[in-house]
Structure 1
Amino acid sequence: MTDELRGLLRESAEAHLPDRARILARVGRGTAPRPRNRERVRVRVRALTWPKIALATLATAGTLTVSALMVVTTPHAPDPPRNPTAAAPSSVARPAAPVEGSRTENGPLWADGSVDPHSNTYWAQSNVTLKAREPLTSLVVELRIALTEGVRDTGSWRTRPAADFDLSARQEGGFLVYRWTLKPGRSVPSGEHVFAGQYDHAPGGRDAKDDTYRIDATAGAGAGAGAGAADGGASVWGGFA
């Protein structure tokens, strides 16, 4: 190759060198987003966003609807009874209170019925207190305890000597009946005397509203407990309410 040919080739190559400034300008124009492309991007974003928003809204509404239905349809358990510890009524028939009411004072007699303060939730003692203004030559004291649940005789006592009285304790007519009868030839001095019956009952206390007592007596030289007032006979009765 001659020197002349080499020079021609060099000149031709130099004439085809790339214009760096023009190339950079074209690259910049190619990478910049066109206005039409930007608008398409916005439209596409909106097209994708609204379905998602609609689906999210529907899902939320569905959740709220299901929750509301669950609240409405959830069965409500009945309220417990206000008093779950109250005892059931006793199955034992309770006799009615005496129709004759009460008479606590008559002639030489005065009487009162009371539940002893030492009674407790399982056991009780009912006291009949008698005040005699004159000596008594005959006397019958009867204490009637209604047969509520668990009532059972556990004993009795009196302030007068046991040898002066005949005592019976038995069930009759829906009652536990204690009866003290003064023996013939014995007497009861004037003053205060107590006759008491003792018994078990169902736990939890006991209502004595149906319990009663009665006392028949003769003062002085009367003919006996059944004698009339003119002969010194007198009777008193009452309850324990």
Structure 2
Amino acid sequence: MTTTLSPADRQALRSLLIDKANWDPVESRKVEGSRLALASHTRVEKASNEAVGRLLVLVSSPQGRVDLGGSRFMIPPGGSLALPVEVLAGIDRFVMVENLAVLLGAHLYQMPEELAGVPWVFRGSPQFSPATAAMLAEETPNVFYFPDTDPQGLANSLNAANCSGVISCNLDGLRELKADGLDKPHDYMNQLQMMDGLTRSGHPLALVLGDLRTGFSQESMARRQLKIWCNVTAD
């Protein structure tokens, strides 16, 4: 059974909301602003259409510290900082990290000297908007992507905003991972259809993947020496 409210019923509900919550649903159909902003003038702060954390990014660093906006932020091992994206405005470079477990384990990774002190930024999840990290990438001249080393991860990185290089193990490290049985041949075979285009691109990491015929997770690269793979740098 469907109940339809009469015009008088709707007006009564409107008056009740105005009286009890200081909120007019007719004049404020789209509730703009954060919960804190709404709480300053209404009892219905949860009506905000702005997701909590919408403009936050998770930041970490293998060095345990990042210098941003004239301030130094310390990061304990296994931790990260949730920072307003505006704090990173104007930076020249950062590392975009695909997996949250890797961001939290940043202290376990041996980065190349060129990226010493460069902040790591998590690409996003349901809790931390991927759109915010993507927006930061659009505004930053040099973004170094750290994905899983497989065809999908490489393709995603090369097609992403302002890609200046893809991070992976050096060639010896990749060979060691394969010899130790820590590679991902199943992932590579599932993504094999992407290899033709990647090989034609001439990217050196694509050529290495084609030669080794396997993939590698970011997590497996902990405690190993990493390098920047880009169009002008090969092993």
Tell me which interval the TM-score lies in, with the shorter structure as reference length. under 0.3
TM-score scaled by structure 1?
0.21
Q: Which has the higher contact order (CA 8 A, sep 6+)?
A: 1
Give the TM-score taking structure 2 as reference length: 0.21
Going by fraction, where is helix more abundant, 1 or 2? 2
- Identify, as 1 or 2, the structure richer in strand: 1
Larger Rg: 1
